[in-house]
């Protein structure tokens, strides 16, 4: 693959790239430093991060990308820990990243801090990174997506992206992973919520956790969900999302879960949908970045900044229409000389 920015790397960043690519003692440190660079909002860091990413990109793409979502308390971190340890025992290297919408809004976090997944943390073959805390959900997710590529370049076989079942974050995470898993609690309220919010529609696999507490309730939930899923149009004609019962705490159903993930990968690879989905996700990601870049450029434009408060007020007071105001503001970007907004 052509990689024009490789030559432009400064020696410090060259070291980061080499450190990420080299298995061994220094790799974890290089990985953490690279992700910190990616998460920085400084313009010069952003530029360096893009160059480092460009150098790492040809080495990425080999991991299985697994998204895991569920309401707080569903057992996500317990499940990821049990799954992670299982995969590591099977000889794989596992990275865990998070997209936490709450951390970008309030500075607080639903997904919790680094003390979670203590057993997994101790494993040499695991890398766990909490959600980046700055910026909008879009910003947080973009950084997680980039961190995922860095983990892949470092040779992790499985990258798990965890998110919480609130707001937009599920759709965002589903848009960056190969398989999106919904973790459910075995009670009808939780199922209905997920169905109502349209989360079930984007799930490739549904898992009822805590089956150890009440096996019958879990089985009831499983069969109701399976029925509900038959009413939805599947994302792929070749895949009906399976519904499983597990216990993350009692470590039951984990091999069966992973077998379904591998089955999904094999089925989708056979039909070409696996690569096609990644291609679509990459192009959609580019458009997201274009949208947010344009938005930022628009907001920072001096003429827009000068006119925005007045025009917003006029729209709120119905002195002008939203359409007319938007057109005036946008004309400053499209044709600054022809714009009738005040100049700098």
Q: Which residues bind ligand GDP (CB under 6 A)?
A: 70, 72-78, 209-210, 212-213, 247-249
40, 34 in Cβ contact below 8 A? no
Closer Cβ to ligand GDP, 194 or 268, answer by number: 194
Distance of closest approach, residue 183 Cβ to ligand GDP, in angstroms: 7
Closer Cβ to ligand GDP, 75 or 84, answer by number: 75
Distance of closest approach, residue 125 Cβ to ligand GDP, in angstroms: 21
Q: Largest alpha-carbon pair distance within the chain?
A: 70
Q: What gap in Å lies between CA 106 and CA 112, rounded to an integer?
A: 13
Instruction: Give the full edge-to-edge strand order of the sheet including 64-70.
Output: 126-128, 94-99, 158-164, 64-70, 179-184, 205-208, 243-245
Closer Cβ to ligand GDP, 19 or 165, answer by number: 165
Distance of closest approach, residue 114 Cβ to ligand GDP, in angstroms: 13
Q: What gap in Å lies between CA 304 and CA 308, rounded to an integer?
A: 6
Q: What gap in Å lies between CA 166 and CA 159, rounded to an integer?
A: 21
132, 140 in Cβ contact below 8 A? yes
Closer Cβ to ligand GDP, 81 or 152, answer by number: 81
Distance of closest approach, residue 130 Cβ to ligand GDP, in angstroms: 12
Instruction: Mark out the alpha helices in the chain (DSSP H runs).
Output: 11-21, 27-39, 43-56, 76-89, 101-105, 118-121, 137-153, 169-174, 188-196, 215-230, 254-271, 273-300, 302-316, 322-334
Torsion of CA 75, 77, 82, 88, to 10 degrees: 160
Closer Cβ to ligand GDP, 51 or 82, answer by number: 82
Report CA torsion sign: 122, 123, 124, 126: negative
Closer Cβ to ligand GDP, 165 or 241, answer by number: 165
Distance of closest approach, residue 264 Cβ to ligand GDP, in angstroms: 22
Phi and psi of 284, rounded to 5°? -65, -35
Structure tokens at 77: 């971190």
Q: What gap in Å lies between CA 273 and CA 239, rounded to an integer?
A: 11
Distance of closest approach, residue 79 Cβ to ligand GDP, in angstroms: 6
Q: What gap in Å lies between CA 113 and CA 56, rounded to an integer?
A: 28
- 126-128 and 94-99: which strand pairing? parallel
Closer Cβ to ligand GDP, 75 or 241, answer by number: 75
Distance of closest approach, residue 240 Cβ to ligand GDP, in angstroms: 25
Closer Cβ to ligand GDP, 30 or 183, answer by number: 183
29, 19 in Cβ contact below 8 A? yes
Distance of closest approach, residue 144 Cβ to ligand GDP, in angstroms: 17
Give burial (CB, 10 Å; 0-12/13-18/19+) of 41. Answer: exposed
Closer Cβ to ligand GDP, 48 or 76, answer by number: 76
**Which residue lies nearest ligand GDP, judged by its C-beta?**
75
Distance of closest approach, residue 96 Cβ to ligand GDP, in angstroms: 12
């Amino acid at each position: 693959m052509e990689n024009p920015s490789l030559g432009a790397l400064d020696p410090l960043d060259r070291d980061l790239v080499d450190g990420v690519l080299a298995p061994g003692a220094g790799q974890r440190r290089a990985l953490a430093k690279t992700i910190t660079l990616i998460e920085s909002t400084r313009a010069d860091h952003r530029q360096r991060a893009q160059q480092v990413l460009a150098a790492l990109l040809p080495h990425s793409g080999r991991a299985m990308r697994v998204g895991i979502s569920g309401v707080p308390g569903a057992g996500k971190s317990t499940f990821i820990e049990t799954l992670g340890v299982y995969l590591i025992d099977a000889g794989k290297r596992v990275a865990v990243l998070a997209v936490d919408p709450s951390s970008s809004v309030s500075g607080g976090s639903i997904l919790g801090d680094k003390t979670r997944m203590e057993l997994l943390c101790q494993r040499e073959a695991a890398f766990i990174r909490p959600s980046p805390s700055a910026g909008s959900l879009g910003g947080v997710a973009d950084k997680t997506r980039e961190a995922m590529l860095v983990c892949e370049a470092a040779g992790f076989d499985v990258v798990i992206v965890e998110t919480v079942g609130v707001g937009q974050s599920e759709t965002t995470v589903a848009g960056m992973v190969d398989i999106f898993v919904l973790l459910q609690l075995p009670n009808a309220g939780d199922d209905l919520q997920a169905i109502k919010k349209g989360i079930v529609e984007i799930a490739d696999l549904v898992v009822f956790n805590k089956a150890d507490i009440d096996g019958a309730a879990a089985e009831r939930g499983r069969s109701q969900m399976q029925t509900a899923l038959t009413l939805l149009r599947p994302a792929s004609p070749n895949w009906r999302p399976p519904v499983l019962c597990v216990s993350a705490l009692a470590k039951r159903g984990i091999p069966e879960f992973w077998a379904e993930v591998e089955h999904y990968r094999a089925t989708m690879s056979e039909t070409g949908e696996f690569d096609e989905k990644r291609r679509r996700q990459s192009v959609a990601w580019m458009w997201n970045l274009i949208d947010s870049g344009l938005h930022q450029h628009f907001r920072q434009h001096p003429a827009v900044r000068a006119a925005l408060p007045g025009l917003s007020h006029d729209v709120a007071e119905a002195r002008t229409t939203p359409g007319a105001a938007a057109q005036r503001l946008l004309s400053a970007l499209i044709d600054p000389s022809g714009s009738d907004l005040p100049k700098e």
